[in-house]
Amino acid sequence: MLLAIDVGNTNTKFAIHDGSAWRAQWRSSTDARRTADEYAPWLSQLMALGGLEFADVTACIISTVVPQALFNLRNLSRRYVGAEPMVIGEAGVRLGIEVRIDKPSEAGADRLVNAVGAFIEYGGPAIVIDSGTATTFDIVGDDGAFEGGIILPGINLSLQALHDAAARLPRVEIRDPGAVIGKDTVSAMQSGIYWGSIDMIEGLCRRVRAEYGKPMKTIATGGVAALFEGAFPSIDHFDQDLTSRGLLEIFKRNGGVL
């Protein structure tokens, strides 16, 4: 079985694939200080709930946008899986796609993995919207190439900045307030973040399609995306397994066998 690890700035996702299907997936808050020996008992207990154990896992692949976390996760794979992990971005790990931006080395590992996962499942051209610490729009060409994108603050980050900068504004839940015009501070903030996010994403999708000049599929993923499912006319698919699927495909492209 394969242990696929995707490290984001806020959360880290662990997923296990048995060669034919995903057996289980879990999320943990990202903490670069957590050691391999701290990860292991947490992960082994969750695996046991699904009838799995470390002895079942024979390979590991890691994508991370937090370089400081890699050392401990590499040790987790070496000590508890008994395998040297594939690491996205390291020499010898081929993505199997062309990166058509001015500075390919600057493209985040998660964005490239999402591009692979989107193309394998949906084809191209496509817009991949990942809602996490940052909200990213990534453009996948009709041949699967990564062609650039857009980066802006994530929804939770925007809410936190609003709370931190304005003494009288509270933390609020992200949800549809039921009306655009808020009748109190909380509903006004919820309207701003909910409808503002929807209109921002819809508007940027229109601009991307107009500039690209071809019909494009739109796929949304990331921890916050599910809160908006059904609210976006322009989004064709909500897919929480996109990054895991991309990691599995890259594992196979580099000779990985389960």
Residue 215 is part of a domain; what is its CATH number?
3.30.420.40
Say if residue 125 is in the same domain as residue 11.
no
Residue where a domain terminates, one of 52, 87, 122: 87
In terms of residues, how long is the chain?
258
Residue among 6, 18, 37, 110 flagged as catalytic: 110
Say if residue 81 is in the same domain as residue 144.
no
* Residue 23: band (very low, low, confident or very high) from pLDDT cuts 50, 70, 90: very high
Helices (H), 29-167: 36-49, 67-76, 109-122, 155-165
Catalytic site includes residue 37: no
Say if residue 16 is in the same domain as residue 137.
no
Domain assignment present for residue 234? The answer is: yes
Say if residue 209 is in the same domain as residue 173.
yes
Domain assignment present for residue 76? The answer is: yes
* Residue 258: band (very low, low, confident or very high) from pLDDT cuts 50, 70, 90: confident
Burial class (CB in 10 A: 0-12, 13-18, 19+), 253: middle
pLDDT of residue 134: 87
Q: Which residues pair with 26 in a beta bridge?
A: 14
Domain assignment present for residue 96? The answer is: no
Q: Of 62-71, 106-115, 155-164, 195-204, which gets the smallest average pLDDT?
A: 155-164
Query: Is pLDDT above 80 for 111?
Result: yes
* Residue 246: band (very low, low, confident or very high) from pLDDT cuts 50, 70, 90: very high
Say if residue 20 is in the same domain as residue 117.
no
Say if residue 133 is in the same domain as residue 47.
no
Report how far residue 174's alpha carbon sits from residue 198's, in angstroms, rounded to the nearest whole number.
Answer: 12
Say if residue 38 is in the same domain as residue 149.
no
Query: Is pLDDT above 80 for 223?
Result: no
Query: Is pLDDT above 80 for 235?
Result: yes
Say if residue 66 is in the same domain as residue 142.
no
- pLDDT mean across residues, the chain: 91
Domain assignment present for residue 250? The answer is: no
Sheet holding 134-140, edge to edge: 146-153, 134-140, 126-131, 217-221, 237-238
Say if residue 145 is in the same domain as residue 212.
yes
Query: Is pLDDT above 90 for 216?
Result: yes
Range of the structural domain that residue 62 is part of: 2-87
Residue where a domain terminates, one of 57, 87, 117: 87
Say if residue 113 is in the same domain as residue 223.
yes
Residue where a domain terminates, one of 22, 56, 87: 87
Task: Count structural domains, the chain.
Answer: 2
pTM check: above 0.85: yes
Domain assignment present for residue 92? The answer is: no
Say if residue 81 is in the same domain as residue 109.
no
Say if residue 64 is in the same domain as residue 165.
no
Are the C-beta atoms of 219 and 122 separated by less than 8 Å? yes
Question: Among 3, 5, 92, 113, which residue's Cα sits nearest to residue 52?
Answer: 3
Q: Of 18-27, 116-125, 149-158, 211-220, which gets the smallest average pLDDT?
A: 149-158
Domain assignment present for residue 125? The answer is: yes
Please indicate whether residue 176 or residue 252 has the higher confidence score (pLDDT). Answer: 252
pLDDT of residue 234: 80
* Residue 88: band (very low, low, confident or very high) from pLDDT cuts 50, 70, 90: very high
* Residue 15: band (very low, low, confident or very high) from pLDDT cuts 50, 70, 90: very high
pLDDT of residue 154: 85
